[in-house]
Amino acid sequence: MNGPEKGGEGDTPERGVATKVRPKTKKPSLYRVILMNDDYTPMEFVVSILMGIFKKTQEEATKIMLNVHQKGVGTCGIYTFEIAETKVAQVMDAAKRAQHPLQCTLEKT
Ligand code: TYC
């Protein structure tokens, strides 16, 4: 189609407001969900949290749990803010209901 020019890319001199089309898609910031070790939360509970909330396999969940157990802290996953925030809330809620002191937080990447 050869309709009238609308952008700023024709061969006529520019006038008025620049309207060059530019895709306006900023990449969302990402957040790491961190799990903290403690001396009381059962290992099986942490594995069940990693499988249920973070969709890890039993093998992945066990590896992450043992890493947190040994190092004191570890990453469960990296998500956009709303998803990360929701997962933290789900972990804290499950831990509270089960009366375990498990702690989970967010960290901007
Ligand atoms: N340290 C706990 C225990 O020995 C297990 C554990 C692992 C707790 C990871 C929390 O984020 C955690 N029962």
Rounded to the nearest whole angstrom, what is the distance from the C-alpha of residue 66 to the centroid of ligand 1? 8
Q: What is the pLDDT of residue 17?
A: 75
Determine the distance separating the centroid of ligand 1 and the alpha carbon of 74, expressed in angstroms: 11
Residue nearest to atom 10 of ligand 1 (CA): 37
pTM listed for this prediction:
0.80
Q: What is the mean pLDDT of the chain?
A: 89
- Ligand 1 binding pocket, CB closer than 6 Å: 35-39, 41-43, 46, 65, 68-69, 102
- pLDDT one-digit tens code per residue, 63-99: 999 999 999 999 999 999 999 999 999 999 999 999 9
Residue of minimum CA distance from atom 7 in ligand 1: 69
User: Going by CA atoms, what residue is nearest to atom 11 of ligand 1?
Assistant: 37
Atom of ligand 1 nearest to the CA of 35: 11
DSSP string computed for the chain? ------SS-SSSPP-SS--------PPPPEEEEEEE--SSS-HHHHHHHHHHTT---HHHHHHHHHHHHHHSEEEEEEEEHHHHHHHHHHHHHHHHHTT---EEEEEE-
CA–CA gap between residue 54 and residue 52 (Å, rounded): 6
